[in-house]
């Protein structure tokens, strides 16, 4: 999978959840990869919902979002999120602007959760740096944090 999302906004998300901990570049890279993978997966499910509803345009409700936030409140940029949404869906689908914002919001919320847990894991390990394994371990431990 090509990297569509710039690292800088993802690094900001990790840092706002890390408290006083340092953030390794591997943690940012791992979270960026996770965001992209999860965004593409969500878009596939949204495309299935749109198809079932007889539409070719993905809407916020296809992502399970009723109220779309203001895009200025988000750290993740919308254009890369749009490219992420299109990674695994057919070209015949369109992604409405408010659906892009809804997806960015969902991905940012999820990224905040993963980053917060990764920081907890780093602290638990007695480290002062959030690292790639902290982010990667989230998927294994996620049922325990839900």
CATH superfamily of 7-127: Histone, subunit A (1.10.20.10)
pLDDT in tens, the chain (146 residues): 666 899 999 999 999 999 999 999 999 999 999 999 999 999 999 999 999 999 999 999 999 999 999 999 999 999 999 999 999 999 999 999 999 999 999 999 999 999 999 999 999 999 999 999 999 999 888 877 65
Residue pair 47/93 in contact (Cβ under 8 Å)? The answer is yes
Question: Which letter, b or e, does each residue of 83-110 get, where b requires 16 or more Cβ atoms within 10 Å of its Cβ?
Answer: bbbbbebeeebebbebbbbbbbbbbbeb
Q: How far is Cα 87 from Cα 39, in angstroms, rounded to an integer?
A: 9
Alpha helices in the chain (DSSP H): 7-18, 25-52, 78-85, 97-124, 132-145
The pTM (predicted TM-score) of the whole model is 0.94
Q: How far is Cα 97 from Cα 68, in angstroms, rounded to an integer?
A: 10
Residue pair 128/22 in contact (Cβ under 8 Å)? The answer is yes
């Amino acid at each position: 999978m090509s990297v569509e999302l710039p690292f800088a906004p993802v690094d900001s998300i990790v840092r706002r959840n890390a408290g006083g901990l340092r953030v390794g570049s591997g943690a940012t890279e791992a979270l960026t990869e996770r965001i992209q993978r999860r965004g593409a997966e969500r878009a596939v499910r949204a495309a299935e919902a749109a198809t079932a509803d007889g539409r070719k345009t993905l809407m916020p409700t296809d992502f399970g979002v009723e109220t779309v936030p203001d895009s200025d409140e988000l750290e993740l940029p919308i254009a890369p999120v749009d490219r992420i949404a299109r990674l695994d869906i057919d070209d015949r689908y369109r992604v409405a602007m408010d659906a892009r914002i809804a997806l960015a919001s969902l991905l940012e919320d999820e990224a905040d959760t993963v980053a917060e847990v990764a920081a907890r894991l780093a602290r638990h390990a007695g480290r002062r740096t959030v690292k790639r394994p902290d982010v990667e371990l989230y998927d294994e431990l996620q049922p325990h944090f839900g």
